[in-house]
Amino acid sequence: PDHAWEPQTTRILMRLAQSASQVVVGGAYFGDHAVLIARELAARGGVVHAFEPNNQQRKMLMRNAELNGLTNITPRSEGLWSDSSAKLKLVGYDSFASAEIVEGEDSDAFQTVTIGDYLKAAGVDRLDLIVLDIEGAELAALKGADAFLSRPKGEAPNILFEVHRHYVDWSNGLLDTELGRFLTEHGYTLFALR
C-alpha cells in the first residue's frame, strides 16, 4: 500500500497484538485493523472476532480476509452493546454512522450482543485485546465486557478505542468522562494517541 490507515493507532495495535491470541474488534469495517491483527495471530492459532453490522462493509471484510489467505477472522453482524437483547440501527453515513436503539420493527435493525455473552457462547474464556471504533457506543460495549475488565492486571484485556468529541464531551479531559471513569474504576490507565 502507498499509505497506512491511522498510522499511530496501527503501530500501537500491532504491538499489542504481538502478545494476543483472542481479540474482539468492534466496528471492524472493511478489515483495516482486523486483517493486520489476524495476520499477527495466525501463526499461533489466534482468532479475531470481528463485529461489523454494516452488511456491505462486513462483505468487504470477508473478501479482504480471503484475499489475504486468513481463516482466523470470525465476522459477526451483531452490534456490541451493554446487553444482548436490544436492537440497534446505524444512523449516518458509512464510517461515521452511529448506533441508535430501535423500538418496534425496523428493517434496518440489527441484534446486539455483549462481549461477555458472545465469548461465553463461543467457548472463549480469555480475552487479550479489545479494539473499538463504534462511533459513540464504546462505553456500552465495554460495559458488556465487565467480567473480563474486572480481572486482575495481566489477565484483563488491553483496550484500544477511538473517541470523538461528537459523541463524548471530553473538554475537561478523558478521565472526566463516564467512559474514562468506568475504565479507571476497573484499574485501567488511559493514554491518548493523536
Q: What is the pLDDT of residues 105-137, one digit of tens each?
A: 888 889 999 999 999 999 999 999 999 999 889
Split at pLDDT 50, 70, 90, the class of 193 is: confident
Residue 50's pLDDT is what? 98
**CA–CA separation, 167 and 140 (whole Å):** 12
CA 87/CA 94 separation, integer angstroms? 19
CA angle 12, 48, 165 (to 5 degrees): 50
Q: Provide the residue type at 103 as one letter.
A: E
Q: pLDDT value at position 155?
A: 97
Q: Which of 53, 11, 4, 73 is nearest to 32 (CA)?
A: 4
Q: Of the candidates 157, 104, 166, 100, which has an alpha carbon nearest to the alpha carbon of residue 132?
A: 157
Which residue type sits at 187? G
Phi, psi torsion values for 87, nearest 5 degrees: -120, 135
Rounded Cα gap, residues 67 and 62, in angstroms:
9
What percentage of the chain exceeds 70 in pLDDT?
96
C-alpha cell at 47: 482468532
Q: What was the pLDDT predicted at 168?
A: 84
Position 96 pLDDT exceeds 80: no
